[in-house]
Amino acid sequence: MVCEKCEKKLGKVITPDPWKSGARNTTESGGRTVNENKALTSSKNRFNPYTSKFETCRICRQKVHQVGSHYCQSCAYKKGICAMCGKKMLNTKNYKQSST
């Protein structure tokens, strides 16, 4: 769960989405340019396991498997916060948030 501001920080896929209306990487939405080699131009957006360091979750101290995130997905879901910045996204007062 990521907020709208942090969606820009997420990695982009090389191939275009077949579902056009919600895709970020089509030529109509401005996400891709024509004849662009995404393998060469998006090196900063791609995940590289050898150079990037995995952070630990600020709540439960387990390894986070998303580059740029400070909270693991289960803690972000339980607290109703953004996994990258920690901004409150959902009021979880009347919910029973569990991972199972």
- pLDDT tens per residue, range 40-99: 766 655 566 676 677 899 999 999 988 788 999 999 988 999 999 999 998 888 888 777
Q: Would residue 91 count as lying in a domain?
A: yes
Mean pLDDT of 17-42: 63
- What the block records as the tokens of 93 is 């007062």
Instruction: Give the whole-angstrom CA distance, residue 17 versus residue 26.
Output: 7
Q: Would residue 60 count as lying in a domain?
A: yes
Q: In which band, very low, low, confident or very high, does the pLDDT at 14 lie, cut at 50, 70 and 90?
A: low
Q: Would residue 1 count as lying in a domain?
A: no
The pLDDT of residue 98 is 76
**Running DSSP on this structure, what letter comes out for residue 10?**
S
Q: Would residue 73 count as lying in a domain?
A: yes
Q: Would residue 19 count as lying in a domain?
A: no
Number of CB atoms found within 10 A of residue 30's CB = 9
Q: Would residue 13 count as lying in a domain?
A: no
- Find the domain containing 89 and state its range: 56-95
Q: Would residue 14 count as lying in a domain?
A: no
- DSSP state string for 20-89: -TT-SSSTTTTS--TT--HHHHTTTTS--TTTPPPPBPTTT-PBP-STT-SS-HHHHHHHTB-TTT--B-
Q: Would residue 47 count as lying in a domain?
A: no
Three-class secondary structure of residue 17 per DSSP: coil
How many domains would you assign to the chain?
1
Instruction: Give the whole-angstrom CA distance, residue 91 versus residue 76.
Output: 12
Higher pLDDT, 68 or 26: 68
